């Protein structure tokens, strides 16, 4: 684990190598996106909905930036082994390589959530301890889930190359199957039941808690924790079963 920190810092430096502002873009990028969503939806929403004109774009941001981190993690993991063939003859464990990919991709989502909390406080919604801590705990659970899924996606991407484009297409569909860019209350009937069975819906409720403090989310926290544990167990199983076959295929 001590080797993971330097690898993550190296990955972040590599991402912004050659730019004048360097790693500061890790903060500026999400800040610009948050500002863009607030400006855009403030213009599109009806003038009478003053509160919604401010909170809705923040709700979109609280869902979209963590979701983008998840997508980047899984899509990167599916192609990680062909891009790092040296691992076949290295003593570096796959878990370390995947951990680096997960944490580098997660930095953007974490900064986005922190900016949403700050913007909510500036907008007059003063979140309590729960509304500050639970979104961060939910994001930690997403990181665990991503790590587990990425451990399985890495060897699968080698053994079944079609799984990579299939994964990208599936994640695109899940973007619209989750209330990321639309309010959950607009969905009713069977679709609302389907959303309730979508684990990411529960993570989104936790991410958006600073915008709606006091909303009961403990059941969503339980679902999110169970989802993270299941992803970790599944990924660990796939890694054990498929790693050696994938290694020989490299």
pLDDT of residue 171: 86
* Dist CA 36 CA 31 (whole Å): 9
Tens of each residue's pLDDT in the chain, 250 residues: 555 555 555 555 555 555 555 555 555 656 666 666 666 666 665 545 556 666 777 888 888 889 989 988 998 898 888 888 888 887 778 888 888 889 888 888 888 898 888 888 887 766 678 888 999 999 999 999 999 999 999 999 999 988 888 888 888 888 888 888 888 888 888 888 999 999 999 999 999 998 887 778 899 999 999 999 999 999 999 999 998 898 888 8
* Dist CA 31 CA 33 (whole Å): 5
CB 63 within 8 A of CB 181: yes
pLDDT of residue 200: 95
CB 65 within 8 A of CB 113: yes
The count of domains in the chain is: 1
Listed in sequence order, the DSSP H helices in the chain are: 4-15, 25-44, 50-78, 80-83, 94-122, 129-159, 163-177, 190-197, 199-207, 218-249
81 SS3 class: helix
Domain that holds residue 45: 4-249
Answer yes or no: pTM beyond 0.85. no
């Amino acid at each position: 684990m001590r080797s993971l920190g330097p690898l993550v810092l190296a990955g972040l430096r590599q991402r912004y190598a050659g730019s004048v502002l360097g790693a500061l873009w890790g903060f500026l990028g999400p800040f610009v996106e948050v500002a863009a969503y607030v400006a855009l939806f403030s213009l599109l929403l009806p003038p009478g909905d003053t509160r919604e004109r401010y909170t809705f774009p923040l709700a979109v941001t609280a869902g979209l930036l963590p979701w983008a981190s998840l997508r980047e993690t899984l899509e990167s993991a599916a192609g990680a082994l062909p891009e790092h063939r040296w691992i076949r003859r290295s003593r570096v464990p796959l878990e370390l390589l995947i951990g680096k990919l997960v944490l580098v991709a997660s930095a953007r989502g974490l900064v986005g959530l922190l900016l949403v909390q700050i913007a909510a406080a500036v907008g007059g919604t003063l979140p309590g301890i729960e509304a500050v801590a639970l979104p961060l705990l939910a994001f930690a659970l997403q990181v665990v889930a991503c790590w587990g899924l990425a451990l399985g996606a890495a060897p699968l991407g080698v053994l079944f190359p079609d799984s990579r484009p299939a994964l990208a297409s599936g994640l695109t569909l899940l973007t619209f199957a989750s209330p990321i860019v639309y309010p959950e209350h607009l969905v009713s009937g069977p679709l609302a039941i389907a959303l309730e069975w979508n684990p990411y819906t529960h993570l989104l409720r936790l991410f958006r808690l600073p915008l709606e403090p006091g909303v009961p989310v403990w059941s969503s926290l339980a679902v999110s924790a169970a989802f993270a544990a299941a992803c970790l167990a599944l990924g660990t199983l796939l890694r054990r079963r498929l790693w050696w076959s994938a290694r020989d295929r490299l």
